[in-house]
Structure 1
Amino acid sequence: MKPLYTAIACTLLLAGVGAIAKFALAQTWTPISRSHSNTEVTARGRSSAAAETARETGGLYAVSEDGERQVFPLKHTEVNATIAGNLSRVAVTQTFQNPFEEPLEAVYVFPLPDEAAVDDMEIKIGDRIIKGEIKEREEAQQIYEDAKREGRTAGLLEQERANIFTQSLANIKPGEEIDVTIRYTDSLQFEGGDYEFVFPMVVGPRYIPGEAIDREGNSDRVPDASRITPPVLPPEVRSGHDIGVTVEIDAGVPISEVRSPSHDLETRQLDENRIAVRLAPDDTIPNKDLILRYRVSGDNTKATVLTQGDDRGGHFAIYLIPAIDYDTKEIVPKDVVFLMDTSGSQSGDPLAKSKELMRRFINGLNPNDTFTIIDFANTAQALSAEPLENTPANRRRALSYIDKLDANGGTELLNGMQAVLNFPAAKEGRLRSVVLITDGYIGNDNEVIAEVQERLQAGNRLYSFGVGSSVNRFLLDRLAEVGRGTAQVIRQDEPTGEVADRFFRQINNPVLTNIEVAWEGGGEPAQVYPQAPPDLFAEQPLVLFGRKGDRARGQLRVRGIAAGGRRYEQLFRMTFEESGNPAIAQLWGRARIKELMSQMYGGETTSAVEAVTDTALTYRLLSQYTAFVAVSEEVRVDPDGTTRRVEVPVELPEGVSYEGIFGDVDDRVQFAPAPPPTGAMSAPSPTGMATRRPGGGVRLQRAEEEVGLAAPEPGAGNRIEVLEAEGLEEAAIADLERYLAQHNFDPSLSGETVWELKVENGRVVRVIFDDRASALPDRLAITSLRRSLSRWVVPNGFSGDVRLKLRVNKA
């Protein structure tokens, strides 16, 4: 059986491709090939051959249902990045063109780094630039829809996930070309002496669990699935969309070892401390993350402190790699549970790389470690029901199990994670380490993160490994953060040795724990994020962002416990000048938003939503609750005329098997979105449908999700009463009371709760808990009630906003 993913494929006729990017720097460039072994030659040759075929044939067209040839509207993306020290400033320009005889609305779903501070958007029509304004998201959507209806050209930029965005561009005139430019600031990753700049290029196909709730592919567990799953091109077919990337690095000191495991590059030395890097002309297909690495001269352990002040307060950023001596041979006995993704998106190269990585992990464990393997797709299966001792016989058993694994089914990561969290606890004196290997192609990101955040035991750690060319870095990074571990990404064609060695340096022991941050000085206290700094592992930096509202000078003291039990302490003195880097304020705002969003993995709350919205508006930042909108003053097309709407199709990530996700190419030939086949959005039952591997493993049952939602026995539990229901008619209120009567809580509980629901066509698509107006103290009861409300089907296809006040009466 093929796995079930939400995506639309297109049938295309090759007839050419857009122009190759033109770069401003036209002097001599030095080519640099990918910086790893020759295992990638086949993949690179296939991409280059596809690009060359497209150039030779002169254009790319889609075939609509009536047989008409249609050119895709997104022609080119140009990325210009400037790196100074630890910060990057990036401008992304998307060029859209209308090839039709009527006005066009283009909708493009694309990725950006998950911690980028997106603070600007503009559209360019001819010589005129229209700046985008930051608004609350629903207000921006309304402005955009009004402008579209009135015949004005409008652009709308929205955030769907921390790393998935939607650009909508309405009323592009026939034959017209319009540029949309998005700007953001980000911090560079730094580890093991390498700076790393990453630019993601494509949103990989997401597996959508749950029951279908409409014909657009949304489900009860991912009600916005249609917004994170762009149409996907079939294999060996191009849309004509290519990408150019130019990065200028100003390190202030000499730069060395510029390289990329993902792309062929060209470099040009600008002066002693500056270098320009761009994609090679034969590597411009946007189907994989650009990973650019380099080293600089000087002391890597020296702290970098950046400050800035304005009318919003004083802001600072600290980048610190503690200079700590530690014994690399110090060994803590570990109980390691490996969690392997064996769903359909892992078919081919990704699964082969995961197996290679697993073999290194098994053979690299310490003699006193114990281990097991859990593999998951639709269901979860384990090598053993108990941890195995690290003996030669058990290692051989594990390697044989790994060899027999194959890839099929949907990415039911929640099932796999629940199997891990339900695994017998580690024995006293052992550290439980969970090692996840996946591409992260799921739509229910928050659901999985919330499960780990809520249930991972203190002292346990989760390490995530993303395998593939365009993995879901948001999911992998956040799982590692809430799991107090680390995240790494390895391409399917990248050597595993260095990645495995780094992992074993980290998993044995963190080098700095119990980190505390305190502001010392007059005035109000500083707001520092993250509020609970993570433990640090070998070669890993501590990154802090802070704000001092009154701009009073002071000092930040960082304390911790170094490996071996020694105390660590460092002091940073700071003043705030208006001449500082304004990007620091944006990054603080983004760090605060990230912290607030992390409090809502299990569900939205009124106070956190308002705090995110206020921060985003104050710092002019894109967020889940704000959006950029730009509108032309003049009416540019006939408001009463015909308009086409095209969702821009995307490339399948390099190395991912189309057949492993969608089935045979011939099965997916429609151009326009079509309703999925019956049941296509439903995740299969854990007791059926999935094809499992003959690995000799132990079948694991899915954990019960519905805590506290069992049907009540007569006289048991307590009754939920609807006190107020703004927006609902009497019949709907009565239906809700009957629905809630089916669910039980602890009979000793009582209290009132207030909820805000957003309903579309009878389905609840958003549930917000009003934490300030509620008085029910039990967190599990609130979680259970949230799940109940999210699955309620409102009578008569109702749409609108509802505010509920419910009372849980003690039995």
Structure 2
Amino acid sequence: MKTPTIPRFRTWPFATFVLLVALAVSPALPHRTATVAAATAQPPTAAHPAATAPAGTTTAGTAHLAATTRPSTVTVSPNSVGSGELLCRTDDGYTPMPILGMDVSVEVTDVLVRGRLDQVFLNPEPVGIEAIYVFPLPEHAAVDAMEIRVGDRIIRAVVKEREEARRTYEEARDTGRKAALIEEERANLFTTSVANIGPGETVTVHLEYLEEIRPEGDRYSLHFPLTFTPRYTPGGAGNVALPVSAGTTAQVNPLSDPSTVQPPFRPHGDPLAPRAIVGVRLFTPRPFASISSPSHQIVAQSDDGVTTVRTHESSVRADRDFVLEWTVTRDTEPTPSAYIEDIEEDRFLLLTVEPPRAAAAAEIAERMSTETLFVLDVSGSMDGPSIEQARDALVHAVERLGPEDAFNVLWFNDRYGSFAPGFVSATGDEVHRARSWIQHLEATGGTEIHPAFLRALAICKTPPTHDANQQEGRRHADGVDGSTGRQRRIVFLTDGAVSNEEELLADVVAKRGDVRIHVVGIGHAPNRYLMQKLAEEGRGLATSITGEEEVGPKIEEFLERIDRPVLTDLAISGLPSNAEMVPSTLPDLYTDEALQVSVRIPGGARSGNQDHATQLRLTGEVAGTSWHHDVPTLNVEHGSGIGTRWARFRIDDAFGRLRRGADSNEVRAEVLALGLGFHIVTPYTSLVAVEERATAATPSVPAPVANALPAGSTLGSPIGGSLPRGGTNEPLWTLLGWVLMGLGTSLALLAGTSKLGGVR
């Protein structure tokens, strides 16, 4: 009997449908790779073999994102709650999630910043909750005050050693009392925990911080991060050991709770994503030439020397950094200035030092030919507008080079590869070839920045190709290769979305040698702490690009500035011998780069010499010519925070010394004493506020608060946060995907054989 033929017009559509479903559930696809932020590395482009160099490509390691280790959550069924209630899906079920609003108020007086942030938590659930919110602050922020506001009740915080503050908070939480805790997870990442927010209740956590603005010539800029890019945790990432308490050690980047770098994020367009009200008041001693924001539409009004700035919308989506930029009119050379504050018997100074004006510096500083290694981040977090901006910036940078320069490009995600084995001359042909190669690079995979840095150093230390008339030479201390006369430098283009910052910075300190490192931050919410520290430890500069319209002018200006330092061998004279200056060794300054120095003079306040700081003199060299300037002072009122700023400078310096091999227990003791003495949040001190009376009769449910996914990001992060491989249903989805792909392939073959008259 003849076997019936299966009509092709029925089989092919079904086979196609099955294959599409199989692909949709497969976790190996790029969109699922981005969701877990850890996938098998892919070449930046498959269409251009030059993008992958077998000899220069390596797998950096297996990446992972660890799931939260917060206390066990109380879960509820999604079918048991009413309309409009907000849930967070977890491995164990669903937990309530509070709704967050923010009110940001910043006052800027010359270079001094006092910021105030209200975090408003609304509990829409029928049960009490514990809100847990991971949030960013400016990279130099010193958090020195916090209070809880519930109706007309205000509960003020005190500073305690971190472990003691955590115990105090948990005891209050478990006994039904309102409590809040602010902890530092990274230098620019903090966690707010708020216990026992009642059903339908609103609780406001008010915190305050100090920071400084570093002018760039006549330009000033203020950055306030409203969200952050999800941080990638490399597999096997090492960290610098630090003591947490007596007899115990932890890490500079503690990953005991990795949810601190991978909290939940709300996707684009989510109406429940956090929003923020942003306002700035500017008090400047010089008149404005311009004021603008590359991140938001703003409204600015000036009255009696005070300029008030707000966003055009009453509130904005919290999916990017708020950036405010202004220029001032200045007819004379920038002059160093100092602010003074006396606290009890001690005197504290904050000095701002700027090099000669850019125009003068350009006349006296001769441009040196360069060998530049551009290191481009092509990981998944860079997908979307970020990789487009990075490619455009890189093309601008390469095209700007002259034939006397040399360059190379290193790409990295969870692998790396290079445009060429070593440096190539920036001739027209090579620039044209590089331009085409760069434009085809795509973003995917993890962010293994540390192996890429080590590879970049290896390329920079490769002996250059010499012309016949060139002689072997030595490397000079300023990064100039004696055989070519070129200055070697590394320029990173990245969003810095990694959690192993300290591992990278420690290796920069130990292995950089004389190569200078510069950083171009990309995207709407880059890791500015890593950008600044990488440039600082690399004796370079950092900048950021937030919009496509900025790419050309920004990268052109940046490359002009990094061509050469203009003020070297800086020193300060006139300080007493017991003065504690931070940084203790002053770096070189580039065109329009400002340096801020903080000083404590023990007993300086009781000397009675109110004009002591006017005796200070700055000295240095500009293009080999001696330069000096006397420092005028501005006396400020007590409470202006100059002393607190010195403490924050000193803490930052202590961690820098740790990277250079200082004793970890001594560093911990110093940071702990500074945190407690100046009432600021550090890795070892936290702010905790506790209400005296109990208001909750039942345990509160841990409820993580979602940040907004940064604008332009294509990461498919779920509301519950990114999860690690092995911590999800991925094995089941993988099996289902393979089964469906097998079924679809079989049906496709079956449809093909029907053309021959049937199947057997």
Task: Give the shorter-chain TM-score range.
Answer: 0.7 to 0.9
Percent of paired sites with the same residue? 29
What corresponds to 2:19 in structure 1?
Answer: none
Count of aligned positions: 612
Q: 2:630 aligns with which of 571, 586, 596?
A: 571
What corresponds to 2:495 in structure 1?
Answer: 439
Contact 2:339-2:636 at 8 Å conserved across structures: no
Q: 1:236 aligns with which of 269, 280, 285?
A: 269
Contact 1:288-1:469 at 8 Å conserved across structures: yes
Q: 1:320 aligns with which of 353, 361, 364?
A: 353
Query: Does structure 1 residue 450 correspond to structure 2 residue 450?
Result: no
Contact 1:235-1:658 at 8 Å conserved across structures: no
TM-score (norm 1): 0.71
Taking a change above 3 Å as real, the CA distance of residues 351 and 592 of structure 1, as seen in their structure-2 partners, is: same
1:737-756 map, 5 Å: none
What corresponds to 1:543 in structure 2?
Answer: 596
Q: 1:587 aligns with which of 645, 654, 662?
A: 645
Q: For 1:72 and 1:149, how far apart are their aligned partners in 2?
A: 19
1:558 aligned partner, one-letter code: L
SS of match in other structure, 2:438 = helix
Contact 1:306-1:581 at 8 Å conserved across structures: no
Q: Which runs of 5+ in 2 are unaligned?
A: 1-27, 38-82, 239-250, 465-480, 731-760
Query: Does structure 1 residue 461 correspond to structure 2 residue 537?
Result: no
Query: Does structure 1 residue 372 correspond to structure 2 residue 420?
Result: no
Q: For 1:359 and 1:353, how far apart are their aligned partners in 2?
A: 10
Contact 2:301-2:309 at 8 Å conserved across structures: yes
Contact 2:336-2:632 at 8 Å conserved across structures: no
What corresponds to 2:753 in structure 1?
Answer: none
TM-score (norm 2): 0.76
Contact 1:447-1:602 at 8 Å conserved across structures: no
Q: For 1:500 and 1:257, how far apart are their aligned partners in 2?
A: 21
What corresponds to 2:129 in structure 1?
Answer: 104
Taking a change above 3 Å as real, the CA distance of residues 65 and 183 of structure 1, as seen in their structure-2 partners, is: closer
Q: For 1:617 and 1:87, how far apart are their aligned partners in 2?
A: 23
Query: Does structure 1 residue 676 correspond to structure 2 residue 724?
Result: yes
2:571 aligned partner, one-letter code: E
Contact 1:225-1:443 at 8 Å conserved across structures: no
What corresponds to 1:485 in structure 2?
Answer: 540
Q: CA deviation at 1:526?
A: 1.2
Contact 1:107-1:645 at 8 Å conserved across structures: yes
What corresponds to 2:715 in structure 1?
Answer: 658
Contact 1:255-1:274 at 8 Å conserved across structures: no
SS of match in other structure, 1:658 = coil
2:447 aligned partner, one-letter code: T
Q: CA deviation at 1:579?
A: 3.7
What corresponds to 2:619 in structure 1?
Answer: 559
What corresponds to 1:408 in structure 2?
Answer: 444
Contact 1:263-1:283 at 8 Å conserved across structures: no
Q: For 1:456 and 1:656, how far apart are their aligned partners in 2?
A: 32
1:637 aligned partner, one-letter code: A
SS of match in other structure, 2:317 = coil
Q: CA deviation at 1:66?
A: 12
Q: For 1:107 and 1:219, how far apart are their aligned partners in 2?
A: 22
Q: For 2:216 and 2:629, how far apart are their aligned partners in 1?
A: 20
What corresponds to 1:363 in structure 2?
Answer: 399
What corresponds to 2:78 in structure 1?
Answer: none
2:400 aligned partner, one-letter code: G
Q: CA deviation at 1:234?
A: 2.9
Contact 2:85-2:124 at 8 Å conserved across structures: no
Contact 1:264-1:283 at 8 Å conserved across structures: no
Q: For 1:681 and 1:432, how far apart are their aligned partners in 2?
A: 48
Q: For 1:538 and 1:371, how far apart are their aligned partners in 2?
A: 23
Q: For 1:636 and 1:63, how far apart are their aligned partners in 2?
A: 25
1:705-720 map, 5 Å: none
Q: Could you list the per-position Cα deviations for residues 97-144 of structure 1 after superposition, in whole angstroms to 9, with x for gaps in the alignment?
A: 222222210000000001012110111122121110011111101111
Tell me whether 326-335 or 395-404 shows the greater mean CA deviation. 326-335
Tell me whether 157-166 or 231-240 shows the greater mean CA deviation. 231-240
1:678 aligned partner, one-letter code: G
1:141 aligned partner, one-letter code: R
Q: Could you list the per-position Cα deviations for residues 147-177 of structure 1 after superposition, in whole angstroms to 9, with x for gaps in the alignment?
A: 1111111100011111100000001122221
1:294-305 map, 5 Å: 294-298=326-330, 299=332, 301-305=334-338
Contact 1:96-1:178 at 8 Å conserved across structures: yes
1:557 aligned partner, one-letter code: R
2:725 aligned partner, one-letter code: P
Q: CA deviation at 1:220?
A: 11
Taking a change above 3 Å as real, the CA distance of residues 388 and 588 of structure 1, as seen in their structure-2 partners, is: same
SS of match in other structure, 2:658 = coil
Q: CA deviation at 1:238?
A: 3.3
Q: Could you list the per-position Cα deviations for residues 354-401 of structure 1 after superposition, in whole angstroms to 9, with x for gaps in the alignment?
A: 111111111111331111010000111011111101211111121122
Q: CA deviation at 1:269?
A: 2.5
Taking a change above 3 Å as real, the CA distance of residues 64 and 321 of structure 1, as seen in their structure-2 partners, is: closer
SS of match in other structure, 1:247 = strand
Contact 1:436-1:463 at 8 Å conserved across structures: yes
Contact 1:372-1:382 at 8 Å conserved across structures: yes
Contact 2:384-2:714 at 8 Å conserved across structures: yes
What corresponds to 1:644 in structure 2?
Answer: 701
Q: CA RMSD in A?
A: 2.9
Q: Which has the larger radius of gyration?
A: 2
Q: 1:630 aligns with which of 689, 703, 721?
A: 689
Taking a change above 3 Å as real, the CA distance of residues 681 and 582 of structure 1, as seen in their structure-2 partners, is: farther
Q: CA deviation at 1:274?
A: 1.3
Contact 2:273-2:318 at 8 Å conserved across structures: no
Taking a change above 3 Å as real, the CA distance of residues 675 and 381 of structure 1, as seen in their structure-2 partners, is: closer
Taking a change above 3 Å as real, the CA distance of residues 191 and 578 of structure 1, as seen in their structure-2 partners, is: closer
Query: Does structure 1 residue 612 correspond to structure 2 residue 671?
Result: yes
Contact 2:101-2:275 at 8 Å conserved across structures: yes
What corresponds to 1:470 in structure 2?
Answer: 525
Contact 2:570-2:588 at 8 Å conserved across structures: yes
What corresponds to 1:330 in structure 2?
Answer: 366
- Which one has the bigger helix percentage? 2
SS of match in other structure, 1:394 = helix
What corresponds to 2:42 in structure 1?
Answer: none
Taking a change above 3 Å as real, the CA distance of residues 67 and 163 of structure 1, as seen in their structure-2 partners, is: closer
Query: Does structure 1 residue 286 correspond to structure 2 residue 318?
Result: yes
Q: 2:307 aligns with which of 265, 271, 275?
A: 275
1:421 aligned partner, one-letter code: L
Contact 1:192-1:540 at 8 Å conserved across structures: yes
Contact 1:235-1:652 at 8 Å conserved across structures: yes
Q: 1:621 aligns with which of 674, 677, 680?
A: 680
SS of match in other structure, 1:207 = coil
Q: For 1:674 and 1:254, how far apart are their aligned partners in 2?
A: 47
Q: For 2:729 and 2:493, how far apart are their aligned partners in 1?
A: 24
Taking a change above 3 Å as real, the CA distance of residues 301 and 168 of structure 1, as seen in their structure-2 partners, is: same
1:379-394 map, 5 Å: 379-394=415-430
Taking a change above 3 Å as real, the CA distance of residues 520 and 249 of structure 1, as seen in their structure-2 partners, is: closer
Query: Does structure 1 residue 533 correspond to structure 2 residue 586?
Result: yes
Q: CA deviation at 1:612?
A: 0.9
Q: Could you list the per-position Cα deviations for residues 21-70 of structure 1 after superposition, in whole angstroms to 9, with x for gaps in the alignment?
A: xxxxxxxxxxxxxxxxxxxxxxxxxxxxxxxxxxxxx9784465899998
SS of match in other structure, 1:494 = helix
What corresponds to 2:654 in structure 1?
Answer: 596
Q: For 1:71 and 1:412, how far apart are their aligned partners in 2?
A: 34
Contact 1:519-1:526 at 8 Å conserved across structures: no
SS of match in other structure, 2:586 = coil
2:704 aligned partner, one-letter code: E
Contact 1:309-1:578 at 8 Å conserved across structures: no
Q: 1:159 aligns with which of 157, 163, 184?
A: 184
1:613 aligned partner, one-letter code: L
SS of match in other structure, 1:608 = helix
Q: Which runs of 5+ in 1 are unaligned?
A: 9-57, 663-667, 683-811
Contact 2:338-2:349 at 8 Å conserved across structures: yes
